[in-house]
Every structure is written in structure tokens, then in C-alpha cells.
């Protein structure tokens, strides 16, 4: 099983752009760790008229600006 997992990992590293994708996943993960409450519990429909910047401020979301 270890050999199979190693082969899968090596094949994934050969895919063009894989490093950038992993970086984007990590950036999203870091952003999620900073959020103060789970986004699944937010009542989005109650704030449809609210500007995006206000949502970000209230939920402590710093958008990813690269990539």
C-alpha cells in the first residue's frame, strides 16, 4: 500500500500546475481557519442586500488576492 501511495503522489507531482493548485488549496484552508464561525450556519438569505465587504468584515474573511 505504501508503494501505491508513493506512486500516486509522484504521478500527481508530474501534473502541470499541481504546485499552484496545492498552494491555492492551502490558502483556502488558512482562510477557513481564520473565520470565526462556520459558513454553513450563516443565514445568507437575511443579508442579500448587504455589501460583500460588510460580510467579510463580520465573518473575519480576508479574501485571497493572488492566483
Residue-wise pLDDT tens digits, 18-33:
777 788 888 888 888 8
For residues 36-46, average pLDDT: 85
Nearest-angstrom CA–CA distance, 51 and 49:
6
Quote the pLDDT of residue 41: 84
Give Cα separations from 65 to 4, 10, 16, 28, 34 (angstroms): 36, 29, 22, 11, 16
Query: CA 10 to CA 66: how far, in whole Å?
Result: 26
pLDDT tens, position by position, 45-65: 988 999 999 988 888 888 877
Structure pTM?
A: 0.53
Amino acid at each position: 500500500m505504501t508503494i501505491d501511495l508513493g506512486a500516486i503522489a509522484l504521478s500527481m507531482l508530474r501534473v502541470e500546475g499541481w504546485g499552484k493548485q496545492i498552494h491555492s488549496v492551502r490558502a483556502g484552508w488558512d482562510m477557513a481557519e481564520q473565520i470565526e464561525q462556520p459558513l454553513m450556519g450563516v443565514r445568507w438569505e437575511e443579508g442579500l442586500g448587504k455589501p460583500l465587504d460588510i460580510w467579510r468584515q463580520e465573518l473575519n474573511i480576508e479574501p485571497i488576492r493572488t492566483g
